[in-house]
Amino acid sequence: MFIAEKGLKIPVVDVDLTNREQHGADFAMVNPHRTVPALELDDGTCLTTSTGICHYLDFYYPEPPLLGRTSAQRGRVVDLDWRVEQEGFMAVGEAFRNKAKSFANNALTGKHAYSQIDSLVERGKTRTEHFFDWLDELLQDNEYLAGEFFSLADITALATVDFSKYIKVQPKEHHTSLQRWHNTVSARPSARL
Amino acid sequence: MFIAEKGLKIPVVDVDLTNREQHGADFAMVNPHRTVPALELDDGTCLTTSTGICHYLDFYYPEPPLLGRTSAQRGRVVDLDWRVEQEGFMAVGEAFRNKAKSFANNALTGKHAYSQIDSLVERGKTRTEHFFDWLDELLQDNEYLAGEFFSLADITALATVDFSKYIKVQPKEHHTSLQRWHNTVSARPSARL
């Protein structure tokens, strides 16, 4: 979504996660951490986190800005993006990966085997509910997360809300601001790819 | 440490965490998330994450750069800082907060009460050991985490290594590159504050 918002064309190689292709020898040559996404640069180096990739692309292709134009906007976007990822995306991931059978020995992403922990399923769901409450409150006074402009924080939040259906926790009916925002950002062409 | 490296003088108000001052009404007015640090800006808004604060300060006061000068450096620093925080700092925190009695009902930072989960203590320690292995390997070919220059990723990694003594996991003797780097960054004046 970030790449589409920038209007960039970057060659994409799909990695078949359902068949654990990220754990194979070929992909380990690209990214030894065995996580997706990974962005290979022309000099052969590789960025292996969504956050790192987005900050790289925003620095290299500043328009349209997705991390804010001013220092105050930059601070707010990065601050919110961090909180959305930690309290939202990670919470959903915690509930999801500690339950699904296919992650029995991979409760965390990456090359190391970690067993599932049952109590993290409920904790992840509770955290997600708290996250939606906060997000709805934030959006009562703001069109987008960081204010009047669309940013990376909205992308991370949209991914989180859409991901949350897999743990059967969704925004509630009374989260009207969150619902309004979700409809708005879901309608962007970049969200339909 | 980031503020000191920038040569900035920012008025500081201590928050007494041992007496749970961050959960009191006064601090909740500053930061409703009830976490530290928090940076109040002149317009009354508040940044409430270390990552957001550092990105704000770096944008506002670019010199010396602690997030890289070029797009490639920016990508690498943010990429590494994210990984260090997620795989290092969060791992140590997981082991620490799920054990210490004072966090019985606050296994996660913030205003919501989450019970401790015993199995996260061992998982956090194991993750920290894996993290030190990776860090040592990275530093075999690099003076600092991102290469030839000191950055935010080094600050986050130093905080992680120093924090890890509280969970009784420390770099091992054979982690000679990690030890070399730790001595170097610990000797910076900003690390002594």
B39 contacts B13 by C-beta, under 8 angstroms = no
Tell me how far apart the alpha carbons of residues A25 and A23 are, in angstroms, rounded to a whole number. Answer: 7
Residue B65 falls inside a structural domain? no
This model of the complex carries an ipTM of 0.97
Tell me how far apart the alpha carbons of residues A78 and B82 are, in angstroms, rounded to a whole number. Answer: 12
DSSP-assigned beta bridge partners for residue A40: A46
pLDDT < 50 regions, chain B: none
Residue A162 falls inside a structural domain? yes
* Model confidence band, residue A123 (pLDDT cutoffs 50, 70, 90): very high
Decide: helix, strand or coil at residue B40.
strand
Residue B168 falls inside a structural domain? yes
Determine the length of chain B.
193
Residue B75 has a pLDDT of 98
Domain boundary among A60, A88, A105: A60
Give the mean pLDDT of A36-61: 96
Decide: helix, strand or coil at residue B157.
helix
| A86 & A12 share domain | no
| A76 & A150 share domain | yes
Domain boundary among A30, A60, A90: A60
Residue B66 falls inside a structural domain? no
Give the mean pLDDT of A87-113: 96
| B30 & B55 share domain | yes
Residues of B in contact with A114 (CB under 8 A): 123, 126-127
In Å, how far is B160's CA from the nearest CA of chain A? 18
| B6 & B42 share domain | yes
Residue B73 has a pLDDT of 97
| A77 & A162 share domain | yes
Residue B193 has a pLDDT of 74
Residues 6+ apart with CB under 8 A from B93: B124, B163
Tell me how far apart the alpha carbons of residues B156 and A189 are, in angstroms, rounded to a whole number. Answer: 37
A160 contacts A169 by C-beta, under 8 angstroms = no
Q: Which CATH number do you get for residue B82?
A: 1.20.1050.10
Decide: helix, strand or coil at residue A39.
strand
Would you call B76 and A51 a contact, using CB atoms and an 8 Å cutoff?
Answer: no
For residue A73, give the nearest of A87, A88, A62 by alpha carbon.
A62
| B8 & B31 share domain | yes
B80 contacts B145 by C-beta, under 8 angstroms = yes
Residue B100 falls inside a structural domain? yes
Residue A3 has a pLDDT of 98
Q: Which CATH number do you get for residue B13?
A: 3.40.30.10
For residue B7, give the nearest of B84, B61, B47 by alpha carbon.
B61
Token look-up 């009902």 returns B105
Tell me how far apart the alpha carbons of residues A22 and B43 are, in angstroms, rounded to a whole number. Answer: 46
Residue A80 falls inside a structural domain? yes
> What is the span of the domain harbouring residue B46?
2-60
Would you call B79 and A114 a contact, using CB atoms and an 8 Å cutoff?
Answer: no
List C-alpha distances in Å: A182 to A4, A24, A158, A191, B159.
18, 36, 7, 11, 37
Residues of A in contact with B75 (CB under 8 A): 39, 41, 47, 52-53, 55-56, 59
In Å, how far is A128's CA from the nearest CA of chain B? 12
Q: Could you give the dihedral angle defined by the CA atoms of residues B21, B25, B30 and B32, in that order, rounded to the nearest 10 degrees?
A: 100
Check whether A193 has a pLDDT greater than 90. no
Chosen for mutation from A36, A80, A112, A152 (greatest number of chain B CBs closer than 10 Å) is: A112
Residues 6+ apart with CB under 8 A from B172: B132
Decide: helix, strand or coil at residue A106.
strand
Amino acid (one-letter) located at A142: N
| Tokens linked to A192 | 């339909």
Would you call B43 and A72 a contact, using CB atoms and an 8 Å cutoff?
Answer: yes
Residues 6+ apart with CB under 8 A from B185: B144, B150, B154, B157, B158, B191
Residue B7 falls inside a structural domain? yes
Tell me how far apart the alpha carbons of residues B74 and B59 are, in angstroms, rounded to a whole number. Answer: 12
Residue B167 has a pLDDT of 98
Q: Could you give the dihedral angle defined by the CA atoms of residues B54, B96, B108 and B17, in that order, rounded to the nearest 10 degrees?
A: -70
| B55 & B81 share domain | no
Question: Is the four-CA dihedral A44, B135, B84, A124 of positive or negative sign?
Answer: positive
| B93 & B21 share domain | no
| B99 & B176 share domain | yes
Domain count across chain A: 2
By the 10 Å C-beta count (0-12 exposed, 13-18 middle, 19+ buried), A44 is classed as: exposed
For residue A5, give the nearest of A146, A139, A151 by alpha carbon.
A151
Tell me how far apart the alpha carbons of residues A95 and A120 are, in angstroms, rounded to a whole number. Answer: 6
Residue A66 falls inside a structural domain? no
| A6 & A100 share domain | no
| B112 & B160 share domain | yes
| B187 & B152 share domain | yes
Residues 6+ apart with CB under 8 A from A145: A80, A84, A135, A138, A139, A151, A153, A154, A157, A181
Would you call B53 and A75 a contact, using CB atoms and an 8 Å cutoff?
Answer: yes
Q: Tell me the per-residue pLDDT of A124-175, one tens digit each, with 9 for 90 and over.
A: 999 999 999 999 999 999 999 999 999 999 999 999 999 999 999 999 999 9
Q: Tell me the per-residue pLDDT of B122-164, one tens digit each, with 9 for 90 and over.
A: 999 999 999 999 999 999 999 999 999 999 999 999 999 999 9
In Å, how far is A28's CA from the nearest CA of chain B? 15
| Nearest-by-CA chain B residue for A153 | B52
Domain boundary among A38, A60, A82: A60
